Amino acid sequence: MTRPVQKTNAQWQAILQAKGAEPDALAVTRHAATERPFSGKYQAHWADGSYHCICCGAKLFDSVSKFDAGCGWPSFREAAPDAIEDIVDRSHGMLRTETVCAQCGAHLGHVFEDGPAPRGLRYCMNSASLEFQSGKNPSDPGADPPS
């Protein structure tokens, strides 16, 4: 599949190292590995801001959509518009929906249909796939203008 952002594994590795990404970021984003539960840096991270793809920087989630699912991975009830692509995943003998970055195809995690109302979705993400940027949601009326 053709994606807007395409690089080799070596190029991604260089980008991830330059960003100071988690050691398993390449395995997670490019080889669909899953970090251990309760090990990720964003699992219990509740600051205001937004979460971006660690590979290409595309915005994926606002902090307001994050919730504590108790599953050991950062969980979100709603993704940014058109940021994420769903792929049917039949690996490990399960039928799941894999989520990848729509821009670069980075593996992010899975989406489950047991999330909170009204949408009922739970985006179960790997911290290693995410990069947090602090700051108020730009759509907040009280947010400062970008400098």
Whole-angstrom Cα distance, residue 76 to residue 122? Answer: 6
d(CA 115, CA 112): 7
Secondary structure of 119-139 as H, E, C letters: CCCEEEECHHHEEEEECCCCC
Half-sphere exposure of 100 (CA within 13 A, CB side): 18
Task: Draw the binding track, 66-85, toward Zn ion (x: CB under 5 A; -: no contact).
Answer: --------------------
Question: Quick one: which segment of 11-19, 40-48, 50-58, 129-137 binds Zn ion (CB under 5 A)?
Answer: 50-58
Site string for Zn ion, 103-122 (x = CB under 5 A): xx-x----------------
Per CB under 5 A, does 102 bind Zn ion?
no
Residue count at the site for Zn ion (CB under 5 A)? Answer: 8
Min dist CB 56 to Zn ion, Å, is 3
Q: Mind telling me the catalytic residues?
A: 124
